A = this chain, B = another copy of it.
Amino acid sequence: MSKTRNVSLSVIKRMPRYYRFLGDLKAQGINRISSKELSNRMGLTASQIRQDFSCFGGFGQQGYGYNVTQLQQEIGSIIGLDNKQRTIIIGAGNLGKTIATHVKRELSTFEIVGIFDRKESTIGQMISGIPVRNSDTLEEFCKEVFPTVAVLCVPFDAAREICEKLSVLGIKAVLNFTHFDVALNFPEMKVENIHINDSFMTLCYKINSDGDE
């Protein structure tokens, strides 16, 4: 199956969800599923699903349904999960610790090679077997280990300065938990944001806007 470029972001955004649903099916012992059945479970239309998959060249076997394991593997390979990414976590507070532990357990693609903080009391602590290093050593570390992905778990105030460093140290992609707008300020970086406050505020809007408050 060939990988096509210029696929729209909305299709790409659905790929991880397909991957997740197919993983759940596998865990339930389901080996084959029709696009109709998959669409019912995912709240999409069957034609939407077929259209999404066709962006990447389709996944064969009309009438037979999809082979769950194979489909998940192919979607994983489209997403690029087979290529390990050397990943550093910046900020070893509550959030940094939680994310380090989570990534180590669930996201083997992102191999955590270093965790950094500038707080004396945190430096030297072990998180999932990885020591927290002094942020001052970030530069020499990057020159030795060549990480490509950084997870930003620092306060807003520290974000710009750290991004300036990261961008010259070879970091190509950032998973950004801060409120700092990395994509806007560092357009050469690949960025995904998890803005926790924004999600809470959007939920807040939904609660208040339906007239039954």
Contacts and interface: CB of A to CB of B under 8 A. Distances in A.
Interface of A: 3, 5, 12-13, 15-17, 19-20, 24, 41-43, 78-81, 83, 85, 94-95, 97-99, 101-103, 106-107, 109-110, 148-149, 156, 172-175, 179, 181, 183-184, 190-211, 213
B149 A203 contact: yes
**Interchain residue pairs A-B with the least CB separation, the first 9:** A80-B208, A16-B201, A16-B198, A192-B203, A94-B98, A190-B206, A43-B184, A98-B98, A192-B199
A147 to B, nearest CB: 12
A98 B196 CA distance: 11
A181 B208 CA distance: 22
Contact of A19 (B78, B83, B194, B201): B201
Given A149-B207, A197-B20, A43 B181 contact: yes
A200 B192 contact: yes
A125 to B, nearest CB: 14
Contacts of A183: 43
A75 to B, nearest CB: 9
